[in-house]
Chain A
Amino acid sequence: MPADTGIEGRDQAPSEVRVAGEVEELERRFQELVDADQRIEPRDWMPEGYRRTLIRQIAQHAHSEIIGMQPEGNWITRAPSLKRKAILLAKVQDEGGHGIYLYSAAETLGVSRDELVDLLHSGRQKYSSIFNYPTLTWADVGAIGWLVDGAAITNQIPLCRCSYGPYGRAMVRICKEESFHQRQGYDILYTLARGTPRQREMAQDAVNRWWWPSLMMFGPPDEASQHSAQSMAWGIKRHSNDELRQRFVDVTVPQAEVLGLSLPDPEIRWNEDRGHYDFGPIDWDELRRVVSGDGPCNRQRMAHKVAAHENGRWVREAALAYEAKLEAGYKRGARASGRAA
């Protein structure tokens, strides 16, 4: 499917036929708006790179929400009580909702939903590599809520002020809902940590497995981050990867103490001089492996997603056919009554 350039592309002549200096003028005005902390709205002029960066980032974010339904969905039928099951169902439904808010935001940039789905299914766009890890026990649902959603919130709160209006507005909704997700996860772990020795062990094991991948969610270290400087200048990003990672560690370490669970890093200790917790080195090779497709569940996640989409095709087509039939019936009815009158 050809890229739909959206309203912008339709309203304005392509840049090559613009008179000399006009693009520079548009760029200058765009940057002025961003620097003044104003928002860019869908039909404003924007640099092609800004549009491309946003489409890539928002789409990857949307895909992550949708793929993220799988690891937790794995436990819906085996939740330990009806209450936990109802809560988990609501949470997984929220993740689907978040995906839809974000796809809608990406679509305002002139890309179609079908294209985005196709880009994911063909592997040309990615989702957060955290969802390539398996959920082995019920405690993993707790660890995902506490650590994975906690890391996501740390990343997402500054995005509420992103220079692109629709993305920022979607993030405001998402952040409000994520707080429930994080607390339900913490609640699961808190309960398990005070349960039988076996339950406590299960909680500790889940935290051990999810801690390091959660730290990797903030992306590569600042000196290796490709897109950061430009994204900062464009007001898409407000803090560096390492800053956000540190912020997450600082709030999470005391929360682990309240749980009475340990974090699997012997180097974590309070650093009086820095006013932050120090922590050990991250295994970036592992992140590279998982991102490039060799995580424990990459193939399973994609196969499941593609199958769900294909199996739902007849429903989407039937709904359209039904609508066309109603429309035709309505028109016939209108003609018939016109004749009668």
Chain B
Amino acid sequence: MSSGGAEGPAPPGPEAAVPGSAPPPRQWPLWEVFVRAKRGLSHHHVGSLHAPDAEMALRNARDVYTRRQEGVSIWVVPAAAIVASSPDEKDPFFDPAGDKVYRHPTFYELPEGVRHL
């Protein structure tokens, strides 16, 4: 497991201080944007953007991702707050589900003549 954004790279690490020079200005943090397209649907990830704070992230998300009425609700989440599973295929994270085909109804053979089951 590692944190650092659903899709994004980890947030920039501490800048190396150069003696005698002002620290470089910090970049606006990265936010992941989720949009509910219409009532009855869940929020979906649509992309990301930079903003100085949550309120601006929300306003920017409206301008960047819903210029054509693509949503009725927006979530913005600091990318750094997202914890993601490792993408490595060798990772046994998802293996436990692999041998449990009996979780699917199609695993079971129904006797002849059984209906509504």
Contact = CB atoms under 8 A, between A and B. Distances in A.
A93 interface: yes
A97 B67 CA distance: 9
Interface stretch (A185-193, A303-311, A313-321): A313-321
A100 interface: yes
Nearest to B54: A323
Contacts of B30: 107
Contacts of A1: 15, 24
A242 interface: no
Contacts of A107: 8-9, 30, 48
Interface string B8-25: 111011011000000011
A10 B27 contact: no
Nearest to A320: B52
Given A4-B9, A104-B48, A113-B27, A29 B89 contact: yes
A108 interface: yes
A166 interface: yes
Interface in B61-94: 63-64, 67-68, 84, 86-89
A7 interface: yes
Interface in A1-46: 1-2, 4-7, 10-11, 29, 41-45
A170 interface: yes
Given A42-B8, A166-B7, A93 B53 contact: no
Given A2-B16, A10-B10, A170 B48 contact: no
A11 B79 CA distance: 17
Interface in A93-109: 93-94, 97, 100-101, 104, 107-109
B9 A320 contact: no
Given A7-B10, A42-B8, A319 B52 contact: yes
B14 to A, nearest CB: 12
Given A93-B67, A319-B56, A7 B48 contact: no
Interface residues of B, number: 33
A241 interface: no
B53 A326 contact: yes
B28 interface: yes
A112 B47 contact: no
Interface residues of A, number: 42
B49 interface: yes
A110 interface: yes
Contacts of B53: 319, 322-323, 326
B86 A11 contact: yes
A305 to B, nearest CB: 18
Contacts of A104: 8, 47-49
B25 A316 contact: yes
A319 B4 CA distance: 23
Which of A90, A166, A320 gathers most chain B CB within 10 Å?
A320
A21 to B, nearest CB: 14
B2 interface: yes
B25 A110 contact: no
Which of B2, B13, B48, B63 gathers most chain A CB within 10 Å?
B48
Given A100-B64, A319-B28, A7 B12 contact: no
A108 B24 contact: no
B26 interface: yes
Contacts of A319: 28, 52-53, 56
Contacts of B67: 90, 93-94, 97
Q: Which 9 A-B pairs have the closest CB atoms?
A: A6-B9, A319-B52, A323-B53, A43-B87, A110-B9, A323-B52, A104-B48, A108-B7, A42-B7
Interface of A: 1-2, 4-7, 10-11, 29, 41-45, 90, 93-94, 97, 100-101, 104, 107-114, 166, 169-170, 173, 177, 313, 316-317, 319-320, 322-323, 326
17 contacts: A2-B16, A5-B9, A10-B2, A10-B10, A97-B67, A100-B64, A101-B64, A104-B48, A104-B49, A107-B8, A108-B7, A166-B7, A317-B25, A319-B53, A320-B28, A322-B53, A323-B53
Given A11-B86, A112-B12, 12 more contacts: A6-B9, A7-B5, A11-B88, A43-B84, A43-B86, A97-B67, A107-B8, A107-B30, A112-B27, A313-B25, A316-B25, A326-B53
